Every structure is written in structure tokens, then in C-alpha cells.
Amino acid sequence: MSRHSWGLAPELQDYLRHINGEEAAVLAALRAETERHRHAKMPIAPEQAQTLVWLADLIGAEHYLEIGVFTGYSSTAMALALPEHGRITACDISVTYTDIARRYWQAAGVAHKIDLVLQPALITLDQLLAQGLRHHYDLALIDADKPPTAHYFERCLQLVRPGGLIAIDNVLLGGRVTRAAQAQDAPSVALMQAFNAALAADTRVRALTLPVGDGLTIVQKRRTEAV
Ligand SMILES: C[S@@+](CC[C@H](N)C(=O)[O-])C[C@H]1O[C@@H](n2cnc3c(N)ncnc32)[C@H](O)[C@@H]1O
């Protein structure tokens, strides 16, 4: 849930989006339609998509795993960026939201690259591991419900190859992670604070949190890591 980068003046944000490359027409149309949705804040921000696409290209990504599809902004951006033989496993629970995503995958000519699995993502991730897809993915994005974030991360760490990347969205929770958790805060605040602290001390990975969108942590699984 990002749409914009926190603390960045709107004109500077527009400028950055402009100099980082024009948004594909199909992505602009998807963003415009999603702006009218009652959950308009849910998609990743264009600059987050640009970051992921840039990293995917850098590491030569072919297999991308996405947890949290919504109306399809991140998956469409990634599908456009992957090579023709690239493939995406996309996890969500909502038929209604992902029917919009499917429409844009068709419009973008990338539907054949995407395998959408509609059930709670933890089940899907365990099934992928049971199917022997350990170390199969080059890049994963965690952008779904917040309480299972650490569980999603542990599964992704097994599914991503050594040297591969895991991106986690909303790690700053609109700045709420900097405050001592208040009684009225959603449980996600304490949870994200604990997740961020654990990640910083995790020797299996190298983690870097970027202040784009609502905070995007990029984690690289160490090349020597056999998880
Ligand atoms: C923040 S949105 C994802 C935004 C998307 N990455 C984009 O760029 O448009 C979160 C999505 O996670 C899905 N979701 C929530 N709980 C889930 C779960 N347990 N398993 C899989 N998906 C879930 C929601 O249906 C919603 O579509």
C-alpha cells in the first residue's frame, strides 16, 4: 500500500518519475482505474515498480514470485520487464481484485507469463516448496497482509536462489515504526518493528531499506547461504 513516496514533495516525485523513464501506457491506464477504486492506496508506487524492474534486470531475473497482486500494477510492470520466457507466480485471495489484474495482463500481452494462485499465500508458498521449487525464484515481492510477513519471508528465503532478492513493501508503515507502539496501534506496528529489527541482524541476508513508497526493503540472500 504505497502509491506515493512519503516525505517527497509532489513536484519532486513527478520529476523523479519522469526522469526515471516514462510509465508504459498500460500501467498508466491501470493506475488511473485503480485511483477510482475504494482501496486506491494499495498498489505499489511507480517509483517502487521502477526500482524492482531495475533490480530484476540487474540480476537477470526470469522467475518472479509475488505475494499480493491486487489490481496488478506490480505484476504487470514486472511481466513487461521479464524476458519472453520469464514466468511469474502471483499469489492473492481476491477474485474481484485480480479480475482487474487479469484484464490488464491481457491488455499488456503478458498474461501467458503469469500463473495466478487464489488462496492464502502461506498455503501456496508451502505448496511451491513441496513441489521442489526451492531456489527456483530470482526475485520475490511481499506485499500482502502484514501479520504473516515474517512467515512469508522465511518461505521466500527458501524459494529464492542464493544471490536472489526479496523485496518487502510497507516496512515504514507511514512513519509509525519510529514510535513506541501505542495501545491503539494496529498489531502490525509492533510486528513490523520486530521484523525490521530481526532483518537487520539476520546473517543469512544483506538488507537495505529504501525510502520509496511506504518503505521498500530489498534483501539479498547471501550467495553462500544454503537455506
Ligand atoms: C497491498 S495489495 C497488493 C498491491 C499490489 N502489489 C500492487 O502493486 O497493486 C495487497 C493484496 O494482498 C492480498 N492478500 C491479503 N491477504 C492475503 C493472503 N493471506 N494471501 C494472499 N493474498 C492476500 C489482498 O487481496 C490484496 O490484493
* pLDDT score at 4: 67
Q: Is 154 left (phi over 0), alpha (psi -120 to 50) or beta?
A: alpha
CATH number of residue 164's parent domain: 3.40.50.150
Q: Is the predicted pLDDT of residue 1 greater than 70, yes or no?
A: no
Residue 37 lies in a domain: yes
Highest mean pLDDT among 5-19, 51-65, 169-183: 51-65
Which is more confidently placed, 129 or 1?
A: 129
The C-alpha atoms of residue 209 and residue 227 are separated, in whole angstroms, by: 22
Mean pLDDT, to the nearest integer, of 124-135? 98
Which of 37, 124, 141, 145 to probe ligand 1 with, by most ligand atoms within 8 A of CB?
145
* pLDDT score at 49: 95
* pLDDT score at 72: 98
Residue 211 lies in a domain: yes
The amino acid sitting at 199 is L
List pLDDT tens digits, range 74-87: 999 999 999 999 99
Q: Which domain holds residue 126?
A: 10-221
Q: Is the predicted pLDDT of residue 209 greater than 80, yes or no?
A: yes
Residue 188 lies in a domain: yes
Mean pLDDT, to the nearest integer, of 43-51? 93
* pLDDT score at 2: 58
* pLDDT score at 58: 97
Q: Is the predicted pLDDT of residue 17 greater than 60, yes or no?
A: yes
The C-alpha atoms of residue 188 and residue 140 are separated, in whole angstroms, by: 21
Q: Is the predicted pLDDT of residue 175 greater than 70, yes or no?
A: yes
| Residue ID of nearest Cα to ligand 1 atom 16 | 145
| Residue ID of nearest Cα to ligand 1 atom 27 | 70
List pLDDT tens digits, range 27-39: 999 999 999 988 8
Can you give the pTM of this predicted structure?
0.95
Residue 226 lies in a domain: no
- Confidence category of residue 184, pLDDT binned at 50, 70, 90: confident
Residue 125 lies in a domain: yes
Q: Provide the number of structural domains found in the chain.
A: 1
On whether the CB atoms of residues 192 and 173 are closer than 8 A, the answer is yes
Residue 142 lies in a domain: yes
Q: Is the predicted pLDDT of residue 180 greater than 70, yes or no?
A: yes
Measured CA angle at 19 (ends 18, 21), to 5 deg:
75
Q: 70 in ligand 1 pocket by Cβ < 6 Å?
A: yes
The C-alpha atoms of residue 132 and residue 16 are separated, in whole angstroms, by: 41
